[in-house]
A and B are shown apart, each in its own frame.
Chain A
Amino acid sequence: MASRTLFDKVWTGHEVVAETAETPAVLYVDLHLIHEVTSPQAFSVLRSLKLPVRRPQRTLATMDHSTPTISDQVHGREPIKADAAARQVRQLQVNAAEFGVELFDMRDARRGIVHVISPELGCTRPGMTIVCGDSHTSTHGAFGALAFGIGSTEVGHVFATQCLLQRKPKTFAINVEGALPPGVSAKDLILAIIGKIGVSGGTGFVFEYRGSTIRAMSMEERMTICNMSIEAGARAGMIAPDETTFAYLRDRPRAPRGADWDASVARWRTLISDPGAVFDASMDIDASALQPMITFGTNPGMVVPITAAIPAASGQSDPVLDKSLEYMGFHSGEPMLGKPVDVVFIGSCTNGRLEDLQAAARILKGRKVAAGVTLLVVPGSQQIKREAEELGLAQIFKDAGAEWRESGCSMCLGMNGDTVPAGRYCVSTSNRNFEGRQGVGARTLLASPMTAAASAVQGRIADPRELLR
């Protein structure tokens, strides 16, 4: 058989009906993750057509986008402040019960951001197809799964048939070699990749991240990388599973056990791009040359090394750049380092895992958040919250003057009321710096957990390498 890519293997294994010129492929979905924001309209379709969820055992529900992060609201000691959010939460409870879908409810110890808890529980596994009504579903590709975001109509399709109609995307190899220098993280690497490809350069492609840098990464780092594939326009990013993947999954609550585990690992080992496999596009990155990265504009591709200045228009004028800089209150030529910061957010499906909190804590330990700066630390799941508390990380954050919250999407998109005030600057470990993303008029600077922590301490955009010395 001809050499095949990892993507080809997973795609072909899930083709119920292959695509033709006239019709898309019918693609089987192994795991359907749902949350409170993009599922209610799909449940309404089922109700109107009098259809059940066809494979409820392949469906998992949680609530994360609009849920509060204030403990008293999560634990029922006071009502959820936002009415609409409370209604959405209740609707998901009703829908999950009516259609027989397992729900990690508000006070469930396993609740958290959907893309954090599925790997944590061992539900995300190599070779699977995974979809969710959320563009950051690409996160699960870190395990060698084909995982991508879908709209609510497609959520309805998966409910009713466990399948989707899909055209086969093209493949894009991103080869990363070399060791990341100290103070430079997976977040900096993916920001650099997006800066190079551009925010639409990956449209129509599935990325495969390859090379020695990727192989040396933990699963948490790989998830950060795959998570932001969509910010370059690619619906999915994948990494071939290896010993790191298997070690992460072994003994997770929902991972296979015993003989089933052995058989699974044997199958997972075949999920690599064969030598000589052909990709439709490729790019090489030297990780050893990277610096901490930070965004200066209003999309994730507008990014520079933290020691750089804000770029100028490449031609005579650049209305896109001008509009962005006007929104941000920045000017070409200004250095990024030293710009004042009002809010720092550490969390999200990009950087809300235990390793991210550990990286931030290394910088914050024994230090204080600068006067006038709000630091919000929001763990990606309730399990991570417990682990961070047991390891003393939560105490480090609190001693530094940070707010330590319950898990959820929180200030990444501000749906739950955790927002950045208009005109204020927020160094954020999340994934999108779009206008108004973190609140009306909010100005977002995307960076790594280390850069975010260093900036919180200094009250201005700071190079984490200075505080690691």
Chain B
Amino acid sequence: MKGSRVVAPEAAVKRRAIFPWRVRAEPRIADVPHWLPPLVSLGALLLALVLGGIVLAVVGGDPLQTYGHMVKAAFGDVGVLSDTLTKATPILLCGLSCSLAFRAKLWNIGAEGQFFLGAWAASAVVLWPVLPATTPRVLMLLAMALAGFLGGAMWGFVPGVLKAKLNVNEVLTTLMMNYIAISWNNYFIFAKWSELGFQMSPKFPTSAWLPRLADYAQQVPLFAGLTTHLGLLVGLVAAGILWWVMYRSKWGFEIHLTGDNPKAARYAGINIARNTILVMMLSGGLAGLAGMSEISGVVHRLQGAISPGYGFTGIIVAWLAKLNPLAVVPVSILFGALILAGREIQPSGIAKLLQGIILFCLISSEVLLRYRIRVVQVQRG
């Protein structure tokens, strides 16, 4: 026994430290203080602006001037502020759609397709026509909203059932159904409802238009020319209701639990399959409502280019808002502003690039909430 070598612990391993300091990430073993998450998010946003500024400087722009211009282009006066809010409306509804699904850990990346189906179903009310053009405005709009919601919900139902009953990956099904939705839409605008061979439907009768602020310019002169429409209010109300559902209702508790630990949810007697389908339908319905609000409030006809990717932006917005419906509101306004300001900036990719950098920074900053970063001195053997 004496002759044999004792296996010594790690201390025997001598390694020369090149740099005397090491950064070490230790998992947090206690609760994160309440003030930390917002602070980290704000820090990440600032860092993103700095990084974006560097890119701007490299391509030869003046970062401060550019940012200043962008802020002015999005929030400079009542007119552009109204445009920003108009842009923010579909993003808001799509962001809510994704927040709900993601809370249940259902990766619905099909808000784009659900948006298109919602737009199509709402248009069908007018163009099929389900209701004549002379229908009273309130009835017409309610019917369109219902149709839009159901259209989106149907597009969420299919992946929901496949997931619940056959455990088919919802990422793939929702993504693929986006393409189906867009092509479905194209078929109608190219063939069925095409106006004079153009790839768009005829303009809706005014009974199918969501009221805008500009409609009330006679009563309130300040509203003249403002594009913000009733869809924004719908979005804000939806955000409030969804917050209550997600944070205060029994069903929201079930969804949160299922998302965090499906096995524990099953053990607690929760019907996971039913909830999966319901969440996907409600999520799809919200995105469908976004589609209805966009064609009825802004475009006033069905056409191909009704979304510059609102459904996908919704994914980002939901993440940035940490899936909190109330936080989705300011985040979607920020993204509405970025889209609007992006039109003022050349090259036009800058706004998208900034979006990407912001997302990257915010998601990376999650690490700070999970780990405590320590700088430690390396001890020399």
Does B bind A? Answer: no
**Which residues of A pack against B, CB within 8 Å?**
none
